[in-house]
Amino acid sequence: MKVLKQFDADCSIGYCELLKRFSEIGMVARELGRAFSIMMNMFLDNECHTLLGVAGAAVASGLRPLITKLIRFGFVNTVVTTGANITHDVIEAIGGKHFVLEREEMDDVKLAKMGIYRIYNIGIMKESYIMLEKFIDETFRDVNGTFSSSDIIKMLASRIEDEKSFLRASYESGVEVFSPALADSIIGSQIRFRTGGKVKLDTLSDISKLVDRVWTSKRTGAIFLGGGTPKHFTMMAVNAADRPLSYAIQITTDREEHGGLSGARLEEAKSWGKVKVKGMIANVCLDMSVALPLLVLAFEEWMSQNTSETP
């Protein structure tokens, strides 16, 4: 056992030092500090294929530029995300906006009359979805056939000019983006209805595509922002490819007791052969909107100190 170090508050320290000090104290801070250490090991392992699983409403909550940075830094090789994050990334890219809702503004009946949809303390105007429909019409006007979610996402990304878009960043960087539950989202359903069924989704082909990507790598690592489909789809792929995770970070406030995958600790995945027995893991019980900014800021600081040029 090591002696716990009391946290020495010093406003002059950087983000890397902050997370190092987190790793030396107790509670959730230590696990977040450990997550950063694992993140660096993952990045420095040139034979590791790194997957980023993004659940929930990460983009709507304001984390979009951070996901984009991880892609542009070359940290991420593959992204697995929800249709919601695809939807909100496109909306931001075409000029739609998300708004902060104060507690006194969270009258849902009143918001409905105003044409504002609520996502906890975030609001988005109905007009943004009308803009999205127009974008879908223009993107798929001459498209006909059956495609994987990653193919459909590439079509969307190819028409995005916004530098802060994680879809554009992935398209330019050769990072494949999968959304196995794309149909369970506004953008998925609108692609179906607005194309009259001409554009069909083949989710099963996503499985073989992701397994093929993972199989060519010697080792794998993953960061899970939330759980849900992105976490399970990623875990299923590394298992099928016989490339269990050597590094894994999970950031979620979900619980394990109800038996759901989202809250299951990463240790549990070892019984399924999805995480290596001696794999480096961190279970961070924290809101991703708190954890991700700290991790990315520390990573960017490290990049600026250890490379001649930060992307």
Give 95-151 pLDDT, tens digit per residue: 999 999 999 999 999 999 999 999 999 999 999 999 999 999 999 999 999 999 999
Q: Where are the beta strands (DSSP E) in 128-218?
A: 145-147, 176-178, 199-201
- Within-domain flag for 6: no
Does residue 186 carry a pLDDT above 90? yes
pLDDT of residue 309: 47
Mean pLDDT of the chain: 95
Q: In this structure, what token pair is assigned to residue 84?
A: 């919601």
State how far the Cα of 310 lies from the Cα of 158, in Å rounded to an integer: 25
Tens of pLDDT, residue by residue over 232-284, are 999 999 999 999 999 999 999 999 989 999 999 999 999 999 999 999 999 99
pTM listed for this prediction: 0.94
Q: Is residue 7 part of a domain?
A: no
Q: Report the alpha-carbon distance of residue 158 to residue 136 in Å, rounded.
A: 12
Q: Which residues partner with 36 through β-bridges?
A: none
The tokens describing 232, both together, are 């399970």
Is 212 inside a domain boundary?
yes
Per-residue pLDDT at 93 exceeds 50? yes
List the catalytic residues.
Answer: 274
Residue 1 counted as domain residue: no
pLDDT at 308 over 60: no
Does pLDDT of 2 surpass 90?
no
CATH number, domain with residue 201: 3.40.910.10
pLDDT-above-90 percentage for the chain: 91
175 found inside a domain: yes
For residue 310, what pLDDT band results from cuts at 50, 70 and 90? Answer: very low
pLDDT digits (tens, 9 = 90+) for 204-232: 999 999 999 999 999 999 999 999 999 99
**d(C-alpha 230, C-alpha 93), whole Å:** 22
Write out the residue range of the structural domain in which residue 104 sits: 15-306
Computed over its alpha carbons, how large is the radius of gyration of the chain?
20
CA-based nearest residue to 32, from 44, 41, 21: 21
- Number of domains present in the structure of the chain: 1
| Contact indicator for 88, 166 with CB cutoff of 8 Å | no
- E strand residue ranges, 12-115: 48-54, 78-81, 98-100
Taking only the tens place, the pLDDT of each residue in 6-63 is 988 888 899 999 999 999 999 999 999 999 999 999 999 999 999 999 998 999 999 9
Rounded (10°) angle between helices 126-140 and 149-157: 100
311 in a structural domain: no
